Structure 1
């Protein structure tokens, strides 16, 4: 099992605490280029500016690159901790399979990409007054190159840290599956509280963020690996960055479309979590023949017994 295999390596919980410290340090280090660039551009005249306004100080493509660089550096810090603190190979952090199944990654990526593109186009053609065409060839293709390389690094860090590192660490500590699922999902959603979308839409949007954390966590536990969660998260963020932006979103990009409508949060926050996400899980469950949901989501995590040489036969 995905969590259980962490017992094969250096799994003492103090190691995870040290690893978390390493990751936090890497996050701060990764933020330095962005902070330096902002201060060089605007000096210290940032008083009264919110996060979105601060990000708009820089060219949007430079701002996007530097923001995503934070996650790339954090990913390096995480992989350093896994290798040198836990002596755990990259594959064992990714999946319980003998090798990473990239077909799962691309299936989840394609599933959410087709859905996101379809919904956006439907909304664009039914409510054209809510959008303006934002496409400018040179800035767009520069943004596309940045997004294709850097967005998967951002989403991979979040998946490897929350659904991988913390899921395995908490699972070996509490010896069950539901506590890691609950804690990692709430923390993942909670960290989005500082996104500009929350300021604009209100706290109700946290239902979406936390619900997304549960969706990705359920994928990981049911499928015994991160491949589906990695693909889903990368597809969602990449398509969003390329296809549509708005003045109040975390991703300020030279996308194809710009949403100029006045945003509001209501059923459009609840429906994805209660309707769309279960449909995604149903499709994946049918494709990958998921069974024994109770055990996989709520069962115990037992440390494998180490046989004595005399018992090996």
Structure 2
């Protein structure tokens, strides 16, 4: 079982929290240092200096490189295998990763095209072939590393460590979901839309946590998260988002906090959980999500 299997490793439980705590502390320091600073204006200044692709690399590279850091820490400091950090199966199920990526990538594409055709005045055509191709290469390399870092840190290392210490399933699920959401609090979207958008970030963290626990591995969460950030960045950009890219479309509408935030969390994510539960035959929901670590 994904959470239980860490009991067979002999690392000091404190080691499970060193990397996550260090990362969270760094994020808090960055948030405090940026208080009173217009994050969007800062990003625009970076874009003027280094270009769109240069700014993209500067913003995403630290998190992408963080993937190597967390994998090194887990393998060589904790003495835990990367497979056990990824899944409870005998080997990583790449079909699960690609299936989840395909499902959410398809939904994201359909929703974007529907938004474009129903509200064309909210978008402008932003596609420039040469710039897009350069960005495409950068995004394919860096974005999956960035999203995998967040999954391995929150749904992997931190969730397993908290489960080991608390002997609970629910506590790690809730705590990692909240911390995952709070990690995004310095994003320019928060300043533009308001703190209500944290419902989406925390709700997404909760959804990914449930995926991980119910499916006994990170594969579905890895695929979903990669599709969410990669496909989204390739399709649409806006002047008020964290990632401003050479995408196909540019959203020029004024952002609003309402249906767009609540709809995925309350409608789409539950439907996706239902779909995955049928495909992979999940059972014992209550026991798996709220039971003790020793329960099967």
TM-score by length of 2: 0.92
1:67-146 to 2 correspondences below 5 Å? 67-146=59-138
Residue 48 of structure 1 and its aligned partner are, at CA, apart by: 7.5
Alignment-derived partner of residue 264 in structure 2: 272
SS of equivalent residue, structure 1 residue 171: helix
Distance 2:22 2:192 in 1: 33
Alignment-derived partner of residue 247 in structure 2: 255
169, 172, 194: which one aligns with 1:202: 194
CA contact (8 A) 1:4 1:302 kept: yes
1:204-219 to 2 correspondences below 5 Å? 204-219=196-211
Distance 1:20 1:263 in 2: 32
**Which residues of structure 1 form unaligned runs of 5+?**
32-45, 305-313
CA contact (8 A) 2:233 2:243 kept: yes
Alignment-derived partner of residue 41 in structure 1: none
CA deviations 1:168-207 (Å, max 9, x no partner) are 0000000010000000000000111111001000111110
43, 46, 61: which one aligns with 1:55: 43
Distance 1:210 1:24 in 2: 15
CA contact (8 A) 1:23 1:77 kept: no
Higher relative CO (Cα under 8 Å, sequence separation at least 6) belongs to: 2
1:215-294 to 2 correspondences below 5 Å? 215-294=207-286
CA deviations 1:131-189 (Å, max 9, x no partner) are 00001111111111000110000000000000000000000000010000000000000
Alignment-derived partner of residue 42 in structure 1: none
Distance 2:198 2:265 in 1: 11
Equivalent pairs, count: 288
Distance 1:165 1:47 in 2: 29
User: Which region of structure 1 is more displaced relative to structure 2, 12-21 or 66-75?
Assistant: 12-21
CA deviations 1:98-137 (Å, max 9, x no partner) are 0000000001000001100001101101110000000111
Distance 1:148 1:258 in 2: 20
Q: CA RMSD in A?
A: 2.2
CA contact (8 A) 1:69 1:150 kept: yes
**Which residues of structure 2 form unaligned runs of 5+?**
none
1:183 aligns with 2:175: yes
CA contact (8 A) 1:2 1:224 kept: yes
Alignment-derived partner of residue 309 in structure 1: none
TM-score by length of 1: 0.87
Alignment-derived partner of residue 15 in structure 1: 15
Distance 2:117 2:295 in 1: 55
1:22–1:82: structure 2 CA closer, same or farther, 3 Å change rule?
A: farther
